[in-house]
Structure 1
């Protein structure tokens, strides 16, 4: 999935045209992200990558953003609290050459518990700047299969079963 055109000013992409409350509900997967485990590599300010995942209604907030550090690349490692069927992504970037021009998604999309987003290029700036990332899809609770450790004895080991009193009985057969 890529946002493959350059533009200045306001974006007139079809993703931005529908601005109703239904769109906000569609992009509500930010609530299903495990933010404590989310990582953003190559961010100029530590922890700023987490701030771009927020409610649809807050997508226009330009006070919270992530900017790449040494080059134009950013890598987001996003763990979810369950399984996600990813259907869409919206990225709002800077209205300049710092806007992402290419991204790679590292995962299958039918039942995702972890997603990696690699922003590999922008439109020519030294750094990439992102204000908002919206994830659209369906969330289901993860079914955990816990490991049970059991020991089975095929024959009892007498050393494991101490008996305080043993009365040996002998039977003679003649």
Structure 2
């Protein structure tokens, strides 16, 4: 499986203010921190709750609290959102040293992944994680993460340590309120056979508009 290199990994470990940062110390204007469903964040094979590493922007460099794997160096972190998200990037501060994960595999809307099946699933995207004490920004392919209700991060191993450690996990993107079956609602409320016949040009047969 090919890793994401070049534009995504080599120069992404950094810690500086972006042009899209909001005024003051709120962080990037498109941070998804306010829209995380903290009560349902799950960390598998972790010594502490997963949400301890999902911090406000001004705490991104803090190393006081962190997630660390337990039995070995594998770690799964599942983060649900309170609405639908178009994900733009994932932010990670990891380490130190050999406790840095060697890579991160990213899944969307997989709410039941565990270690028994995660290795059999192909992630939507994955990145090598450089050894650094700074916050790295990993830009995902927006088209692949355009309707996300949860993100699962799988860290399959460390750079040689017995455990893997995460100090900070953040998300950038656009949040919208979750709607319930919007397409079905529209068609049920507006279905008119005569109208559809005129639009579709069908000879008396009904055909739903092609999406």
TM-score by length of 2: 0.59
Counterpart Cα distance in 1 of 2:76 and 2:14: 24
**Which has the higher relative contact order, 1 or 2, with Cα contacts under 8 A spaced 6 or more apart?**
2
Q: How does 1:1-150 map to 2 (within 5 A)?
A: 13-20=11-18, 22=21, 24-26=27-29, 28-45=31-48, 47=49, 49-107=50-108, 108-145=144-181
Shift of 1:132: 0.1
Which deviations, in whole Å up to 9, do the C-alpha atoms of 1:48-85 show, x marking residues without a partner?
A: x1111111211111111000001111111111000111
Q: 1:76 to 1:67 in 2, by over 3 A?
A: same
- Tell me if the contact between 1:3 and 1:101 (Cα under 8 Å) persists in the aligned partners: no
Which has a greater percent of helix?
2
Poorly superposed stretches of 4+, deviation over 2 Å: 1-4, 12-15, 17-21
Q: Which is greater in Rg?
A: 1
Counterpart Cα distance in 2 of 1:29 and 1:67: 23
Shift of 1:28: 1.9
Shift of 1:14: 3.6
The number of residue pairs the alignment matches comes to: 138
